A and B are shown apart, each in its own frame.
Chain A
Amino acid sequence: ETGVTQTPRHLVMGMTNKKSLKCEQHLGHNAMYWYKQSAKKPLELMFVYSLEERVENNSVPSRFSPECPNSSHLFLHLHTLQPEDSALYLCASSQDRGSPNIQYFGAGTRLSVL
């Protein structure tokens, strides 16, 4: 149990579907992150939320839409995705935004876009 729970663990969707990924952390942390992990590429930081405010958006296409309703929950809303968006999406949390930034990861959602 890592303290960060992601659902669903696997998701298959068509390019016209709308779906959402959910992340919940039970660690009392103030910062949460979305990463994209593709095979043999470095983790790509997508979004950062600190105290429910979005503080980073790394040029992510608008077909990905994050939401952070409170410091324990983070969502990633997906619509009209492309096959190249197939990847493992990881959620992480940290105590705050300051250094050193030790991150705690969920198990990820394996997304396949058909």
Chain B
Amino acid sequence: AQSVTQLDSQVPVFEEAPVELRCNYSSSVSVYLFWYVQYPNQGLQLLLKYLSGSTLVKGINGFEAEFNKSQTSFHLRKPSVHISDTAEYFCAVVSGGSYIPTFGRGTSLIVHP
């Protein structure tokens, strides 16, 4: 069985500060990992994905994430956030034996001026 834990339900940060949104997963087999972003009144859109290869993955809008197999983590980072990054962020995992992603509860990133 696969599961995802997003440790922070809300992360407030000031504009131009760095941010890290944490995600841990559990799975007994190989995994594919995703981060989705949901802006207010919109659906989810793919931010970045890890399928294989380099453990450091770069996505849209300056975000990146690092796959750490030993710690079963896939934390999302951005060195300098903007007001427009205010949104809900969802981590998701797909295990080798399944095709359905399991989503975390989401982390609300709130960027203050």
Residues of A at under 8 Å CB distance from B?
A: 2, 4, 6, 40-43, 45, 48, 56, 90, 92, 97-108
Contacts and interface: CB of A to CB of B under 8 A. Distances in A.
A102 B34 CA distance: 8
A103 B99 CA distance: 11
Contacts of A41: 105
A106 B42 CA distance: 7
Given A42-B102, A103-B101, 9 more contacts: A2-B45, A6-B43, A45-B100, A90-B43, A92-B43, A101-B32, A101-B94, A101-B100, A108-B42
Given A43-B90, A105-B43, A107-B43, A100 B32 contact: yes
Nearest to A10: B41
Contacts, number: 57
Contacts of A6: 43
Interface of B: 4, 9, 32, 34, 36, 41-46, 49, 51, 90, 94, 96, 98-106
A40 B106 contact: yes
Given A40-B106, A42-B105, A105 B45 contact: yes
Nearest to B97: A99
B42 to A, nearest CB: 5
A42 B104 contact: yes
A97 B99 contact: yes
B99 A101 contact: yes
29 contacts: A4-B43, A6-B43, A40-B9, A40-B105, A42-B102, A42-B104, A42-B105, A43-B90, A90-B43, A90-B44, A92-B44, A97-B99, A98-B99, A99-B94, A99-B98, A99-B99, A100-B49, A100-B94, A101-B32, A101-B100, A101-B101, A103-B101, A104-B45, A104-B46, A105-B44, A106-B43, A107-B41, A107-B43, A108-B43
A101 B46 CA distance: 11
